[in-house]
Structure 1
Amino acid sequence: MDDSFEIPVLFNQKELLFPARLLHQGFTHKIKVDVNGLTIIFEPDEEGNYRAIIDDILLEKANEINISLLKTIAVAIESIVR
Protein backbone atom coordinates (compact mmCIF):
# COMPACT_ATOMS: atom_id res chain seq x y z
CA MET A 1 0.00 0.00 0.00
CA ASP A 2 1.36 3.39 -1.01
CA ASP A 3 0.80 6.04 1.65
CA SER A 4 2.26 8.88 -0.40
CA PHE A 5 0.29 12.04 -1.08
CA GLU A 6 0.78 15.77 -1.61
CA ILE A 7 -0.05 18.55 0.81
CA PRO A 8 -1.45 21.67 -0.89
CA VAL A 9 -0.52 24.93 0.85
CA LEU A 10 -1.22 28.57 0.11
CA PHE A 11 1.82 30.51 1.37
CA ASN A 12 2.87 34.06 0.49
CA GLN A 13 0.12 34.17 -2.14
CA LYS A 14 1.56 31.10 -3.90
CA GLU A 15 0.02 27.67 -4.20
CA LEU A 16 2.59 25.06 -3.22
CA LEU A 17 2.51 21.26 -3.16
CA PHE A 18 4.70 19.30 -0.78
CA PRO A 19 5.27 15.55 -1.26
CA ALA A 20 4.44 13.61 1.89
CA ARG A 21 4.34 10.07 3.18
CA LEU A 22 2.29 8.61 6.02
CA LEU A 23 4.34 6.55 8.48
CA HIS A 24 2.37 4.14 10.69
CA GLN A 25 3.92 3.63 14.13
CA GLY A 26 1.95 1.44 16.48
CA PHE A 27 -1.14 3.30 17.64
CA THR A 28 -0.02 6.60 16.15
CA HIS A 29 1.42 7.98 12.95
CA LYS A 30 3.84 10.55 11.61
CA ILE A 31 3.89 12.38 8.32
CA LYS A 32 7.20 12.76 6.51
CA VAL A 33 7.16 15.91 4.34
CA ASP A 34 9.72 17.09 1.80
CA VAL A 35 9.95 20.84 2.43
CA ASN A 36 12.20 22.34 -0.22
CA GLY A 37 14.60 19.40 -0.11
CA LEU A 38 14.58 19.01 3.68
CA THR A 39 12.72 16.11 5.30
CA ILE A 40 10.50 17.34 8.12
CA ILE A 41 8.48 14.97 10.30
CA PHE A 42 5.07 16.11 11.53
CA GLU A 43 3.33 14.30 14.36
CA PRO A 44 0.11 14.86 16.30
CA ASP A 45 0.38 16.21 19.83
CA GLU A 46 -1.90 15.31 22.74
CA GLU A 47 -4.56 17.77 21.51
CA GLY A 48 -4.55 16.45 17.94
CA ASN A 49 -2.66 19.41 16.49
CA TYR A 50 0.39 18.72 14.35
CA ARG A 51 3.90 19.83 15.18
CA ALA A 52 7.11 19.72 13.18
CA ILE A 53 9.91 17.60 14.57
CA ILE A 54 13.33 18.85 13.50
CA ASP A 55 16.39 16.73 14.25
CA ASP A 56 19.82 18.05 15.22
CA ILE A 57 21.19 17.80 11.69
CA LEU A 58 18.40 20.02 10.37
CA LEU A 59 19.02 22.54 13.14
CA GLU A 60 22.31 23.33 11.42
CA LYS A 61 20.27 24.28 8.36
CA ALA A 62 17.81 26.32 10.45
CA ASN A 63 18.42 29.42 8.36
CA GLU A 64 16.82 27.60 5.42
CA ILE A 65 13.71 26.61 7.39
CA ASN A 66 10.80 29.06 7.37
CA ILE A 67 8.89 28.57 10.63
CA SER A 68 5.77 30.25 9.21
CA LEU A 69 5.80 27.78 6.33
CA LEU A 70 6.03 24.85 8.77
CA LYS A 71 3.06 26.22 10.73
CA THR A 72 1.08 26.59 7.50
CA ILE A 73 1.90 23.00 6.51
CA ALA A 74 0.81 21.79 9.97
CA VAL A 75 -2.55 23.55 9.57
CA ALA A 76 -2.95 22.01 6.11
CA ILE A 77 -2.24 18.54 7.53
CA GLU A 78 -4.84 19.12 10.25
CA SER A 79 -7.44 20.07 7.65
CA ILE A 80 -6.67 16.92 5.63
CA VAL A 81 -6.80 14.59 8.64
CA ARG A 82 -10.00 15.97 10.16
Structure 2
Amino acid sequence: MDTFDNSLEIPVTYKGQELSFPAQVLMTGYTHKIQVEVDGHWIMFEPDEERNYRPVLDAAQIEKGVKQDVNLLKEIASVINSVVK
Protein backbone atom coordinates (compact mmCIF):
# COMPACT_ATOMS: atom_id res chain seq x y z
CA MET A 1 0.00 0.00 0.00
CA ASP A 2 1.32 3.46 -0.88
CA THR A 3 1.42 6.02 1.89
CA PHE A 4 1.01 9.71 1.34
CA ASP A 5 3.35 11.91 3.37
CA ASN A 6 1.10 14.81 4.23
CA SER A 7 3.79 16.82 6.05
CA LEU A 8 5.33 19.89 4.47
CA GLU A 9 7.06 23.17 5.29
CA ILE A 10 5.65 26.50 4.15
CA PRO A 11 8.39 29.10 3.55
CA VAL A 12 7.33 32.72 4.07
CA THR A 13 9.25 35.98 3.85
CA TYR A 14 7.65 38.32 6.38
CA LYS A 15 8.97 41.65 7.63
CA GLY A 16 12.35 40.89 6.08
CA GLN A 17 12.69 37.50 7.78
CA GLU A 18 12.75 34.08 6.15
CA LEU A 19 10.32 31.93 8.15
CA SER A 20 9.26 28.32 7.75
CA PHE A 21 6.07 26.83 9.16
CA PRO A 22 5.40 23.09 9.57
CA ALA A 23 2.12 22.03 7.99
CA GLN A 24 -0.01 18.98 7.25
CA VAL A 25 -2.59 18.29 4.58
CA LEU A 26 -5.78 16.87 6.07
CA MET A 27 -8.17 15.05 3.74
CA THR A 28 -11.84 15.43 4.65
CA GLY A 29 -14.16 13.68 2.24
CA TYR A 30 -13.94 15.34 -1.16
CA THR A 31 -11.94 18.31 0.06
CA HIS A 32 -8.92 19.06 2.18
CA LYS A 33 -7.57 21.54 4.69
CA ILE A 34 -4.03 22.57 5.45
CA GLN A 35 -3.11 22.73 9.11
CA VAL A 36 -0.19 25.10 9.78
CA GLU A 37 1.66 25.56 13.07
CA VAL A 38 2.07 29.29 13.77
CA ASP A 39 3.64 30.41 17.05
CA GLY A 40 2.84 27.10 18.73
CA HIS A 41 -0.80 27.05 17.61
CA TRP A 42 -2.38 25.07 14.78
CA ILE A 43 -4.27 27.20 12.27
CA MET A 44 -6.48 25.63 9.59
CA PHE A 45 -6.38 27.00 6.05
CA GLU A 46 -9.24 25.95 3.83
CA PRO A 47 -10.32 26.88 0.31
CA ASP A 48 -13.23 29.30 -0.03
CA GLU A 49 -15.80 29.37 -2.83
CA GLU A 50 -13.24 30.86 -5.22
CA ARG A 51 -10.60 28.24 -4.28
CA ASN A 52 -8.52 30.82 -2.39
CA TYR A 53 -7.16 29.63 0.94
CA ARG A 54 -8.15 31.47 4.08
CA PRO A 55 -7.21 30.94 7.73
CA VAL A 56 -9.89 29.62 10.06
CA LEU A 57 -9.21 30.24 13.74
CA ASP A 58 -10.34 27.71 16.32
CA ALA A 59 -13.05 29.04 18.64
CA ALA A 60 -11.24 27.62 21.68
CA GLN A 61 -8.10 29.58 20.79
CA ILE A 62 -10.11 32.78 20.43
CA GLU A 63 -11.79 32.18 23.81
CA LYS A 64 -8.36 31.68 25.42
CA GLY A 65 -7.27 35.04 24.03
CA VAL A 66 -4.69 33.65 21.61
CA LYS A 67 -3.54 36.51 19.39
CA GLN A 68 -2.40 35.90 15.81
CA ASP A 69 -0.70 38.32 13.45
CA VAL A 70 -3.39 38.77 10.78
CA ASN A 71 -0.88 39.99 8.19
CA LEU A 72 1.31 36.93 8.78
CA LEU A 73 -1.71 34.65 8.28
CA LYS A 74 -2.52 36.50 5.04
CA GLU A 75 1.07 35.98 3.85
CA ILE A 76 0.91 32.25 4.65
CA ALA A 77 -2.39 32.03 2.72
CA SER A 78 -0.76 33.85 -0.20
CA VAL A 79 2.08 31.31 -0.31
CA ILE A 80 -0.39 28.40 -0.18
CA ASN A 81 -2.45 29.99 -2.99
CA SER A 82 0.62 30.49 -5.17
CA VAL A 83 1.62 26.84 -4.85
CA VAL A 84 -1.83 25.31 -5.26
CA LYS A 85 -3.02 27.38 -8.22
> Normalized against structure 2, the TM-score is what?
0.90
What's the CA shift string for 1:4-54, capped at 9, x where partnerless? 000010100001000000001111100000001010000000001111111
Identity of aligned residues (%): 48
How many pairs are equivalent?
81
Deviation above 2 Å: which 4+ runs of structure 1? 60-63
In the alignment, structure 1 segments of 5+ residues that lack a partner are none
CA root-mean-square deviation: 0.9
Residue 57 of structure 2 is aligned to residue 54 of structure 1? yes
Matched position secondary structure for 1:61: coil
Residue 43 of structure 2 is aligned to residue 40 of structure 1? yes
Q: Which has the larger radius of gyration?
A: 2
Aligned twin of 1:8: 11
Q: Residue 27 of structure 2: which of 24, 47, 51 is its match? A: 24
Aligned twin of 1:73: 76
In the alignment, structure 2 segments of 5+ residues that lack a partner are none
> Normalized against structure 1, the TM-score is what?
0.93
